[in-house]
Chains A and B, each alone.
Chain A
Amino acid sequence: MKPAAFDYLQAATLDEALDLLHEAGGDARVIAGGQSLVPMLNMRLARPAVLVDIMGIDDLRKIEASANDIRIGAGVRQAQLEAWPNLSARLPLVAMALPWLGHVQTRARGTVCGSLAHADPSAELPLSLIALQGSLHLRTKRKRRTVAADDFFLGMMATELGEGEMIEAVSFPTRREGTGYGFNEIGRRHGDFAITAVAAVVTERSASIAIAGVDDRPRRFDVPLPSDPGLDDALNEIAWDLNARDDIHASASYRRELTRRLGRRTIEEAAACLV
């Protein structure tokens, strides 16, 4: 369990990182917290020729709050966001989801944007970003673009990121007046990959849920309000609409059942936060 040889380059500035990614092309990977990439390197599942470490770039380590969103740089570790004093007030859904993300030790190293770039279908941060309809700020040496979360996650560990492109920051829309949030997750053990995780966003007039762990990417659906008798049927259709998989930890049928039961529970909890 030793990695194949690679070049390791520390970038001091964002421009330097982008230059290095540009030069190395498809054989380069960005390394930030390394919590997903390093095990893959050690098992030789991933064999990039070049690793560009972005953790030395000061500009990327900022959490910037504005009226409508919180912008989190690519160098911000999950623990740093967890410790951000305004988290519960400004991003209550993320505050609920973060404790489920791995363990204290992995959050101390892992970054927010690294989890988004890895795009594990069970992961809590992509789920939260989809639920809140946030967006990602992507950069290459030549261009910058902002991509909606819905367009960023393409499938199992597959994202919209192109060659030489990296996430510079992510923007989470902040808490809105008159909105309730809910989050629930079922895993085998604390800190495990979610079998099913559900995030709900509910207002007086609308409700939506986002679900991770079932399909090959987190997906969001508008649903009837919790008081609507049609909610259970709607959740059932969502359960069948997701391409639930069987694996050694849970059957597809179990994942659908959790979508129904956890879906309702989470929507009700989000609605309860409204008042």
Chain B
Amino acid sequence: MNEHTRPKSLVGKSVERVEDASLLKGRGRFIDDLPTRRDTAHAAFLRSPHAHAEIRAIDTEKARAHPGVYAVLTGEEVANLTNSLVVGVKADVECWPMARDRVRYVGEPVVLVVAESRYVAEDALDLVEVTYETLPPVIEPRAALLDDAPVLHPSLGTNLINERAFRYGDPDAAFAVAAHRIAITTAYPRNSCTPIETYGVIAEYDPGEDAYDVTANFQGPFSIHAVLSRALKVPGNRMRLRTPPDSGGSFGVKQGVFPYVVLVAIAARVANRPVKWIEDRLEHLTASVSATNRVTTLEAAVESDGRITALSWDQIEDCGAHLRAPEPATLYRMHGNMTGAYAIENVTIRNRVVLTNKTPTGLNRGFGGPQIYFPLERLVHKIADELGLDRLDVIRKNLVPSDAFPYRTATGALLDSGDYQSALDRAVTEGGLDELIARRDAARAEGRLYGIGFTAAVEPSVSNMGYITTVLTPEARAKAGLKNGAQAVATVGIDPLGSVTVKVASVPQGQGHRTVLAQVVADRLGLPLSAVRVNTELDTNRDAWSIASGNYASRFAPAVAGTAKLAADSLRGRLATIAAAQLNVTAEQVEFADGKVFDSGNPDNSVSFARVAAASHWAPGTVPEGTGQTIRETVFWTPDELTAPTPQDGINSSLCHGFIFDFCGVEIDRDTGAARIDRYVTMHDCGTILHPGMVDGQVRGGFAQALGAALYEEYAYGADGAFLTGTLADYLIPTVLETPEPVILHFESPSPFTPLGAKGVGEGNCMSTPVCIANAIADATSVEDLTLPLSPSKISALIHGEEKPSAKPKRDVKPMKARAGERTLSGEGSAEVSAPREEIWAMLLDPKTLEAIIPGAHKVEKISDTQFRADVTLGVGPVKGRYRADITLSDMVEPEAVTLSGGTEGALGSGRGQGRITLTKTETGTRVSYSYEAGIGGKVASVGGRLLDGAARVVIGQFFQSLARYAGRGKAAKSASSGILARLRSLLGRRA
């Protein structure tokens, strides 16, 4: 075979990934693998057990005195050395990386300890005593807007930190004349894409230069570098930020490491040595970042044929306890795409951003997409059902027409390319929709529950760095200076022997950037893949970068790989000029292939690539004048289409727009309520495909995470703000056993706006799949009002109807009253005591008695007539903790009734409870009746939720049983729970 006729292009082939050999052999270099200086110390954080509380006092004395401890820092001490983190909207509020006078979410850092090892640092955390005064929390975003809602930030005076209203086209007229107005309200839950590698930071401070040197598994955008420099009060060139060679996944989440960059950098400065911190899984789940939860009311003006003429959005975005950069970006990333894949001319939008007592939000794969497609595509489904139309026809009727590209959406996006109708038609045919419908009909004929769902979506990629300024009014934007664009950068260098190095500021987390860049550059220079080596580590003191650098918004293939092509082309042009002189041809005649540079008209007239490349190094005098060097070329590229928001608030929020059409068949098990995905078909148009294997890998990965969002995953909070999913046994990520293989289809409409015609593809299924599965479940169950994740228990409640009651008389049936998702419990009981009421009354006010009857009490002190303080050890099985309990007596009606309320604090968490004791005179003595309600928070609630209810029930029951027994001095009538003593003995070990 003539070597010059071989297919030359590497781009478009699934070449073997250059990353995999070392990763699969355990030779990856992740942050925790990196060498550190010998004197490196380790940090650990004490975190808030409360969702909302004032910090009254922090006693760090014992921790500071602990051997091996180098530094202990409170939020106040950190604040003395830093500035508040920049907040992305104009509001009178500060954003500190560590709590100062108030904690606002469970897991918020309160104290930082630096010690010789992580073990010692955690030992020291146990010695810190924090006194909190709890405040009522606000958890639900609508509740945060109520007039009497607790306010998180007193300086703000409200939980509504930003509100904007937008109007595009003439929505009033469209709604006025519409044949139908159809609306839906949805609540999208909190979840996260949960990388396997947690956050990590290694920081050093050089007092000589007043400069920080930080390595963190941060992923960008590097606009955050400006936030870090300001927070640390140094110019950017004294805040050196580096990233490790490998990253164990991010999906956006690693952007949220930045507050810890500030904290660990300050820790290094104060401890006067390098400090390393690797986040553990409990810290990660509790307090890293989550995607936003959002409550949306969406109304459509609809013609009788299903054509949508206007949309009205009302979105309440919940960003958690602080508005951290770049929030409220989740709400605005999709702003140009609020009409999805549809041609809808008239739109109103009301956007409200609220703060609640939950973990602050941040980047997450699909960023803002799932939150809009869930209501939009549920609504399209509902419109078809209400008007008696075919669901697929309603989608078809509203899609952006094939001849309309590039298409400007009502809210300002410029949809670059596509043929949505053809892509949909091909998916229907190649994905086998007819067969799926036949399966549904057959299943239903047998009485089974089976449904089909559809979703059409636009997947934006390459964010306009100016989109977030849409949150500002046009006047404020003009005043602050318009922002726009997205600089990508790539450097291609050629060494003296002619091998090629590519350097980009893309910070991959496993995506395979090095492979694709080698493909792109090798193609341009006519080299084999192995001749090109790619470095994707980033060092802000050494490498070319800009604020848009990093790995987010699916910008790699369209922007970064495209810029690498431009840099390679630039070198290629100069190499051609040099070669032309050597080959005696014009530069236009020069071709590059197989490591040779040759005359395209006469391939035998050739010279090796290495020889041409060598000229700039070894013999610059031979390079034709005016050609310039071929040693290294750095290209910055920002697309012209990414313009600033218009005065009318139109915003081209992203450069590229892929198209997705999904459909699926889902069967519900009638007995268990479990949803089984029978088939999932996903059609993608992501423009030119650079590496088919990696594109399919992106689709599979996004699909698996979306399946998690649809059926399994939720960052769950109790009504008291307790975080309930602190382990991977509670935050349920689907494994390969739960994840079916989707049918992946492709349609290629190259983007006219990117150098390679490629668009992003990594986030699409996170946007389209959750709602597609929900649509199928709605079809199967005929239930409209669905909230993710659709667990078997939730679906069971929809399909099983009223529960069969017990035949026994009601008083014998005692279901627990705790509500789902709340770490609160309540109960009641009574015991007969052979002692008069007055005697029992006196016991309740006597610390000695309380010491005897409070389970696990070591000491009870009387603070005042109605206040006691106890030191108790409580536990279940091997789980034991020592707590300080404060007990207050109130509503006292001597000698009939008293209310005991109390709170406990300990290393494992906190508890609060209230019990009402009623003493009734009986023939033989007194009936002691009690009812109680208790809540438990902190670490125990986050990781031991399954065990707590039973344990707390036993302990609380024991208190009242002991009271009865103590009062009767062994003569107590036999109570209903006589086995309780044996149980308690094993619960409390030898303390009982």
Contacts and interface: CB of A to CB of B under 8 A. Distances in A.
B940 A45 contact: yes
A195 interface: yes
Contacts of A253: 797, 803
B23 to A, nearest CB: 20
A4 B126 contact: yes
B738 A240 contact: no
A252 B569 CA distance: 65
Most buried by B among A240, A249, A262: A249
A178 interface: no
Contacts of A56: none
A186 B792 contact: yes
Contact of B796 (A26, A158, A191, A257): A257
Given A156-B877, A250-B791, A44 B122 contact: yes
A186 B280 contact: no
A38 B819 CA distance: 31
Contact of A161 (B737, B800, B943, B986): B986
B473 to A, nearest CB: 41
Contacts of A236: 804, 806-807
Contacts of B792: 186, 188, 195, 250, 254
A190 B877 contact: no
Given A44-B122, A188-B732, A265 B807 contact: no
Nearest to B877: A157
Nearest to B982: A154
B877 A119 contact: yes
A244 B879 CA distance: 22
A244 B818 CA distance: 11
B744 interface: no
A89 interface: no
A195 B792 CA distance: 10
A244 B727 CA distance: 23
Contacts of A261: 671-672
Interface in A217-275: 233, 236-237, 240, 243-254, 256-258, 260-262, 265
**Which of A25, A154, A233 counts the most B-chain CB atoms under 10 A from its CB?**
A154
A249 B986 contact: no
A158 B877 contact: yes
Q: Number of contact residues on B: which range applies?
A: 35 or more
A25 B990 CA distance: 9
Contacts of A188: 712, 732, 791-792
A189 B805 CA distance: 29
A9 interface: no
A155 B674 contact: no
A1 B818 contact: no
Nearest to A240: B806
A245 B724 contact: no
A160 interface: yes
Interface in A1-38: 1-5, 25-26, 29, 37
B793 A240 contact: no
Interface string B779-817: 000000000000111001100100111111000011110
A262 B671 contact: yes
Interface in B871-886: 876-881
B979 A193 contact: no
A37 B878 contact: yes
B725 A248 contact: yes
B879 A190 contact: no
Given A158-B987, A253-B803, A190 B878 contact: no
A141 interface: no
With a 10 A CB-CB cut-off, give which of B876, B878, B940, B943 has the most chain A CB atoms: B878
Interface in B617-668: none
Contacts of B725: 248
A1 B280 contact: yes
Interface in B667-681: 671-674
Contacts of B729: 192-193
A250 to B, nearest CB: 4
Interface string A89-118: 000000000000000000000000000001
Contacts of A250: 791-793
B735 A190 contact: yes
Contacts of A47: 880
Interface string B924-941: 000000000000000110
Most chain A CB inside 10 Å of its own CB: which residue of B725, B880, B950: B950
A156 B879 contact: no
A2 B879 contact: no
B820 A156 contact: no
B943 A43 contact: yes
B55 interface: no
A262 B792 CA distance: 14
A262 B674 CA distance: 13
Given A156-B877, A236-B804, A248 B979 contact: no
Nearest to B802: A253
Interface string A113-131: 0000011011000000000
A53 interface: no
Contacts of B816: 243-246, 252
Given A250-B792, A251-B820, A240 B813 contact: yes
A192 B732 contact: yes
Interface in B265-292: 280-283
A121 B813 CA distance: 21
Interface string B707-745: 000001010100000001101011010110110000000
B951 interface: yes
A256 to B, nearest CB: 7
Interface in B815-830: 815-816, 818-822
B892 to A, nearest CB: 32
A72 B724 CA distance: 37
Contact of B674 (A44, A121, A186, A237): A186
A196 B975 CA distance: 30
Given A248-B820, A251-B820, A45 B732 contact: no
A248 B716 contact: yes
A107 to B, nearest CB: 15
B734 A249 contact: no
A242 B859 CA distance: 37
A68 B983 CA distance: 31
Contacts of B805: 240
A51 B220 CA distance: 45
A253 B799 CA distance: 13
Interface of B: 118-119, 122-123, 126, 280-283, 671-674, 712, 714, 716, 724-725, 727, 729-730, 732, 734-735, 737-738, 791-793, 796-797, 800, 803-808, 813-816, 818-822, 876-881, 907-908, 939-940, 943-947, 949-951, 954, 979, 982-983, 986-987, 989-990
23 contacts: A2-B119, A26-B990, A40-B878, A43-B939, A43-B943, A44-B122, A45-B881, A46-B880, A121-B950, A154-B979, A154-B982, A157-B876, A193-B946, A240-B808, A240-B815, A246-B820, A247-B820, A249-B732, A250-B793, A254-B793, A258-B672, A262-B671, A265-B671
